[in-house]
Amino acid sequence: MKYFYLVDYWIPFPASEYGGVISVIGANDNEVHDLLLDWRDEYNSEYDSRIMERVVNAHKFALADHHQSKIIDTFTT
């Protein structure tokens, strides 16, 4: 089973002016964490320790059909 995650952006102000949200499909928190770690900008890697907390606290929605794990959309500032 896959889930649709709405993950709050983990980069704090002022590095990220208004935050953001990342939409991800994944099988579990660990897979989503790894997808986000691969996606994130190396420039802000100092905040990597915050990613898993945001994934665990994300809104999650079960998907009825089989979907590929991937990042669907991003909005960050």
Which of 16-25, 36-45, 61-70 has the least mean pLDDT? 36-45
63 sits in the region (left: phi over 0; alpha: psi -120 to 50; else beta) called: beta
Kindly report the pTM of this predicted structure: 0.91
Cα–Cα distance for residue pair 48/37, rounded to 1 Å: 7
Helix or strand holding residue 56 (H, E) = helix 51-56
Residues present in the chain in total: 77
Note the pLDDT tens digit of each residue in 18-42.
889 999 999 999 999 999 999 998 8
pLDDT, residue 58, reads: 98
For residue 77, what pLDDT is reported?
85
Which pLDDT band holds residue 66 (cuts at 50, 70, 90)?
confident
Contact 31, 3 (CB under 8 A): no
- Residue 73 CA to residue 33 CA, distance in Å, equals 15
